[in-house]
Amino acid sequence: MLYGLRDLRVEDIDIPNVEAGEVLVKVKSATTCGTDLKIFQRGYIEKVIRLPTVFGHEWAGEVVEVGEGIEWPKKGMRVRAGNSAPCLRCTMCRKGKYNLCEDMIWLWGAYAEYIKVPARTVLVNMQEIPQHVSYEEAAITEPLACVLHGAEEADVKLGDTVTIIGAGAIGLLHLLTAKKKGAGKIIIVDLVEERLKLARKLGADETINAGQENVVEKVQQLTSGYGADVVIEAIGLPGTWERALKLVGKGGTVLEFGGCPPGTEVKVDAELLHYGEVTVRGAFHATPLHFRKALELIASRTIDVRPLITRKMKLEEINEAFKILSTTKSEIKIAIIP
């Protein structure tokens, strides 16, 4: 059991002071995320988060204070903001690769009563939440934004057979997105039966329990010996990255979506890339445009994220929430209510 490697506490801290251009939001709901769990269990790239810190990054709430010079948003407005804001000036931003910005501002601190949103984030990555959308749903904008970016890279076409490894929140969001993109058949792989059950409920055509079945053989069988057109790895382990390469058919695309620990190397069969013309792609994070689209898709229920919130817990129970996520695997997302 990995739980306990990191020290997570609920503490009283001062409500942040709001400076020019900044916005203070009362957090109404913050959802748990695999990334938080990973950081909690094993740490993360220093660039993105420096511990100790207030934790959590998927949230939505109500504006309670605005800094000098702010015309939008207004006090009382229901809002969400992304956990990143690109600089719009660096080489990557100039290439339009805003998710790879070299001077990104990251925003942590969702598991708290209040969160202060930096001026740049207010400007490039904050949105008003439509009245009919709950705070819990709006909090899921962030993972959906990442999935939309990944989906563009995976480029699922009408009628494609798609295999998704992992039926956690990210795998399930990929499932919902691939369905909307017109996938013909979606096969989803996981070790946890409850998750596979939910995947079937959300539209997976076939599910494979990797603990009970030979995944490579089963995918071959379900694709008439051909392999999938698109394979999406949504776990973030070297073993599953390599497995993804074994499930794809000739001319297909593998999207390695789950982040592995820095320094991880994986084996790729050169024959697969050359004679099989397989494309292997990675995807990291999302751009402000993906965030905007994600909230719109949630609001129109084109992508209905409500079934992914499997439990609600109070902020004081945050340790218990991560313990549950670490051990049971049956919960998808827990909404933390301050």
The residues that touch Zn ion, with contacts defined as CB under 5 A, are 33, 35, 58, 86-87, 90, 93, 101, 103, 142-143
> For residues 37 and 191, which CB has a smaller minimum distance to Zn ion in the complex?
37
Between 39 and 129, whose beta carbon lies closer to Zn ion?
A: 39
Quick one: DSSP state of residue 100?
A: G
Q: How far is the CB of 313 from Zn ion (least distance, A)?
A: 17
Nearer to Zn ion, 103 or 304 (CB): 103
What is the nearest approach in angstroms of Zn ion to the Cβ of residue 88? 6
To Zn ion, the closest distance from the beta carbon of 161 in angstroms equals 28
Q: Across the chain, where does the E strand assignment appear?
A: 23-31, 58-66, 78-81, 84-85, 105-106, 114-117, 126-128, 161-165, 185-190, 206-209, 228-233, 248-256, 279-282, 309-314, 333-337
Secondary structure (3-state) at 70? coil
DSSP string, 30-43: EE--HHHHHHHHH-
Distance CA 224, CA 145 (A): 33
Please state, in angstroms and rounded to a whole number, the distance separating the CA atoms of residues 29 and 113: 9
Q: Which is nearer to Zn ion, 222 or 334 (CB)?
A: 334
Distance of alpha carbon 147 from alpha carbon 308, whole angstroms: 14
Pairing of strands 126-128, 161-165: unpaired
Nearer to Zn ion, 49 or 87 (CB): 87
Q: Least CB distance from residue 51 to Zn ion, whole Å?
A: 17
Tokens 């009362």 belong to: 26
CA nearest neighbour of 64 among 97, 33, 25:
25
Q: 61 or 143: whose CB is closer to Zn ion?
A: 143
Q: How far is the CB of 83 from Zn ion (least distance, A)?
A: 7
- Comparing C-alpha atoms, which of 45, 98, 37 is closest to residue 235? 37
Q: Which amino acid is at 252?
A: G
Q: What is the smallest separation between the CB atom of 183 and Zn ion, expressed in angstroms?
A: 23
Q: What is the DSSP letter of 275?
A: T
Smaller CB separation from Zn ion, 92 or 268: 92
Distance CA 283, CA 255 (A): 7
Min separation Cβ 199 and Zn ion, Å: 19
CB atoms within 10 A of CB 288: 21
Nearer to Zn ion, 215 or 286 (CB): 286
Q: How far is the CB of 145 from Zn ion (least distance, A)?
A: 9
